[in-house]
Amino acid sequence: MDVNSFQELKFVQVNLHHSIAATTSLVERAKDQKISVACVQEMYQVESKPVGIPSHCKLFVTQREKLKAGIIVLHPDLSVMKVFTATNTVGVSFPYRGMNLLLITVYCPPKEDLYHTLAELQTCLMLPYDRVLLTGDFNSKSPVWGSDVEDERGRQLMEFVLSKGLAIVNEEDTIPTFDGSRGRSWVDIIISDPLLLDNIFKWKVDLEPTCSGHNSISFSLYTGKTKPRKHRRFNLKNINILSLRSSLHSEIGNRVLAHATDLDREVEDYVTKITSACKNSVQVRQPLSKKQRWWDRNLEILRSQVRRAKKKMYQARLPNDRKFLRQKFKKIKGEYKFKLLQAKREGWADTCEEVTTEQPFGVHFDVAKCPDRRHLQLSAVTKQDGSLASTT
């Protein structure tokens, strides 16, 4: 299957907590929300085999006997190939926008050392790929992905992410991914390379119940191709109905078909005349100039700088970086607003100078004729005797 036929690929990351109810709920949710891929941990098993996954889905699981992690490909036409499997790690590859995307799912139990899982990830990332997406339940805590404290596992995972040049997709201010009888924590994490991060959107921790102690994480992967649009030949809103009716009446209004007439030729002639009448009846609109005379290259550069600074501020992860970038953004935005207001005033002054006795009409006349009611209200005229006129 060509992935580019999708407008987006929907992913979900959830720990099923070896529950058949959670597995059934995930399958039903996939049907309703059209989820393409599900990355799961602690799957429900009977005699070391995952149970509850429909037969039409492609399933790739880790090698351990219990507490398996897996990747469920719910879309039957998505071409996926398993490239790596280990005790706590499983990886698949599929084409994405002409590139090779490596999808990895991990589950590291809290009683096991994270070092072995990171070693498996190290081996998996040695495979050739263009983009990488890593999901899993690492049972690690760090303020980078929402926890209040940082433990040793969180420090190890963060060092591994930075050493590989990857980025954390999780946001800081979200509800916990685990909320059960043992407490609350943020242990489910999404990691990607920086280039793929720009194509991930709709990321959120879901509020809907999953029938397990974990809250699911859902996000979409932008594929870069939209559905083809059907363009209409003519838009009736842009056609002069009176002109169209007059043209059709003069062309085919009084036309009579003879008995020995070639119907195919007559139909073709009718279509040609109707199309010609529609073309002649289209109201031609004058193109509007989107830019004002006072708009110049300097303002355009300043606007680009403001947008760039705003984007960097929202992408910052650390509070200190965000505070610094917010101050920088406000400074550039203030300069842009000042220059914009100054350019508008100078442009209006130039417009008013063009008023002459020979050419009294122009932009100034249109503004006076159709004033902004929020800022301009006309009042009655005072006569010489002090009384007010009945009109403005």
Q: What does the pLDDT average to over 313-339? A: 90
Reported as type and span, the H/E element at residue 247 is: helix 241-248
54-73 residues labelled b (16+ CB within 10 A) or e (exposed): eeeebbbbbeeeebbbbbbb
135 closest CA partner among 12, 30, 317: 12
Q: Does 335 score more than 90 pLDDT?
A: yes
Q: What is the mean pLDDT of the chain?
A: 84
Q: Does 1 score more than 70 pLDDT?
A: no
How far apart CA 156 and CA 171 sit, in angstroms, is 19
- At 227 the pLDDT is 53
**Which two three-digit tokens encode residue 126?**
């040695």
pLDDT tens column, 111-129: 899 999 999 999 999 999 9
Reported as type and span, the H/E element at residue 303 is: helix 297-315
**Residue with more model confidence, 2 or 188:** 188
- At 364 the pLDDT is 57
Least confident window among 182-191, 281-290, 346-355 = 281-290
- How sure is the predictor about 169, in pLDDT bands with cuts at 50, 70 and 90? very high
pLDDT tens column, 56-92: 899 999 998 888 899 999 888 888 999 999 999 999 9
Backbone angles phi, psi at 359, to 5 degrees: -130, 75
The CATH class that applies to domain 7-223 reads alpha beta
- At 224 the pLDDT is 66
| Strand-pair category, 89-96 with 81-85 | antiparallel
Percent of the chain exceeding pLDDT 90 equals: 40
- How sure is the predictor about 369, in pLDDT bands with cuts at 50, 70 and 90? low
Helix (H, G, I), strand (E, B) or coil at 219: strand
Query: What is the model's pTM?
Result: 0.57
How far apart CA 225 and CA 8 sit, in angstroms, is 8
- How sure is the predictor about 2, in pLDDT bands with cuts at 50, 70 and 90? very low
